[in-house]
Amino acid sequence: MASETAIDHREKALALLKADADKIMKLIKVQMDNLTMPQCPLYEEVLDTQMFGLSREIDFAVRLGLIDGAEGKSLLDTLEQELSALHEAFMKK
């Protein structure tokens, strides 16, 4: 029973972290759609703040043993790649 609970907590933690990563991606897309340039200090501030917050959430989940470090790193890496692709697409407009 305890093992099932631990697995359930791990799955919930990972799902919440992925949802937060998706929120960051949507926030950045909205900014870009509203003509906020990637070099804009507001854009950079939002991105830096959101990414830092997510990295702290991931670190907390890792320290609690809810996810392993590789999962957390993978989540951040994937988000950074998606944001980079979005930035490149915006710059080609």
pLDDT of residue 58: 96
Looking at the 3D structure of the chain, how many domains does it have?
A: 1
Tokens 């407009």 locate to 93
Written as six digits, the tokens of 39 are: 């070099």
Distance of alpha carbon 32 from alpha carbon 89, whole angstroms:
10
For residue 46, give the H/E element and its range.
Answer: helix 41-64
Q: Average pLDDT of each block of 10 consecutive residues along the chain (93 residues)?
A: 79 94 88 68 80 95 94 94 82 72
How far apart are alpha carbons 68 and 63 in whole angstroms? 9
The CATH number assigned to the domain holding 55 equals 1.10.287.750
Range of the domain at 34: 2-91
Terminal alpha carbon distance of the chain = 54
Could you tell me the pTM of the whole model?
A: 0.81
